[in-house]
């Protein structure tokens, strides 16, 4: 039951998201070790993904209330299924920008990233968030609406993030820098962005290295 200072039994965020971040970080570090790819720059990508995951959960699923007042009315899920209806431009921009880092991080984590792969992961992540918000409404009196517009904006943000990754990879100094953070074998050469079919699309005058054939995760 809720106390006087917390009458509705609001679940604190940090005790949930901090362990989540630690689990994500440990799993990713284990993945690095298993593939014999461990390095400090790559470990920093794991840390960034862990912090990002915790932040996303903390800001999209919470607040959660365990003792919210019961209205006695049957539960009706708060879902917005009509695209672009009553959707503020500020919300669209915010949801897009939030997923731009995810698009970059996914591309760094994949040995052979493509637009289709990155967008698919972004879409799956956003869908999971919307379903979690829907479940939180039913079981824990969550405070968010599952919205198709948020989903579309998130997917667009993931695509923008991947596009940014490709753009930076085509600039030789930045490409060499990004290569230190990529989770694939044969680091040291500029990153080779790939098209939707998985074919390498190097900058003009560059050659595709055999090292780009590393298996994807």
pLDDT computed for residue 190 by the predictor: 43
Pick the most confident of 60-64, 73-77, 203-207. 60-64
pLDDT computed for residue 137 by the predictor: 81
Provide the angle, in degrees to the nearest 10, between the axes of the packed helices 89-109 and 40-60. 150
Residues in the chain: 217
Q: Does residue 158 surpass a pLDDT of 50?
A: yes
Do 45 and 107 touch, CB atoms closer than 8 A?
no
Do 183 and 32 touch, CB atoms closer than 8 A?
yes
- Only one residue has tokens 């479940």, namely 135
Q: Work out the average pLDDT over 111-116.
A: 95
**For residue 34, what are its two tokens?**
């298993």
What are the structural domain ranges in the chain? 14-213
pLDDT band at 70 (very low <50, low <70, confident <90, very high): low
Largest CA distance in the chain: 69
- Only one residue has tokens 């596009």, namely 163
Q: What are phi and psi for residue 215, nearest 5 degrees?
A: -65, 145
Q: Work out the average pLDDT over 132-146.
A: 79
Output DSSP code: residue 11: P
Q: What are phi and psi for residue 30, nearest 5 degrees?
A: -60, -40
pLDDT computed for residue 191 by the predictor: 44
Each residue of 178-215: pLDDT tens digit? Answer: 999 999 875 444 445 555 445 555 544 444 444 443 33
Burial of 176 (0-12, 13-18, 19+ CB in 10 A): middle
Distance separating alpha carbons of residues 141 and 69, to the nearest angstrom:
9
**For residue 75, what are its two tokens?**
């539960």
Q: What are phi and psi for residue 10, nearest 5 degrees?
A: -65, 130
pLDDT computed for residue 72 by the predictor: 55
């Amino acid at each position: 039951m809720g106390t006087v200072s917390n009458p509705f039994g609001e679940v604190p965020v940090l005790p949930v998201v901090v362990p989540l971040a630690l689990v994500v970080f440990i799993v990713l570090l284990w993945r690095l070790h298993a593939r014999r790819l461990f390095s400090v720059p790559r470990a920093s990508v794991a840390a960034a993904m862990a912090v990002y995951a915790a932040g996303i959960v903390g800001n999209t699923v919470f607040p959660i209330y365990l003792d919210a007042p019961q209205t006695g009315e049957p539960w009706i899920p708060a879902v917005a299924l009509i695209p672009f209806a009553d959707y503020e431009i500020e919300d669209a921009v915010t949801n897009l920008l939030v997923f731009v880092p995810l698009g970059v991080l996914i591309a760094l984590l994949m040995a052979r990233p493509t637009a289709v792969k990155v967008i698919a992961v972004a879409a799956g992540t956003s869908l999971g968030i919307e379903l979690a918000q829907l479940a939180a409404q039913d079981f824990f009196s969550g405070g968010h609406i599952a919205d198709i517009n948020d989903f579309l904006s998130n997917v667009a943000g993931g695509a923008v993030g991947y596009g940014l990754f490709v753009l930076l990879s085509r600039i030789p100094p930045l490409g060499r820098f990004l290569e230190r953070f990529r989770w694939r074998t044969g680091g040291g050469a500029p990153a080779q962005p790939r098209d939707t079919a998985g074919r390498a699309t190097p900058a003009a005058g560059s050659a595709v290295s055999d090292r780009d054939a590393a298996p994807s995760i």
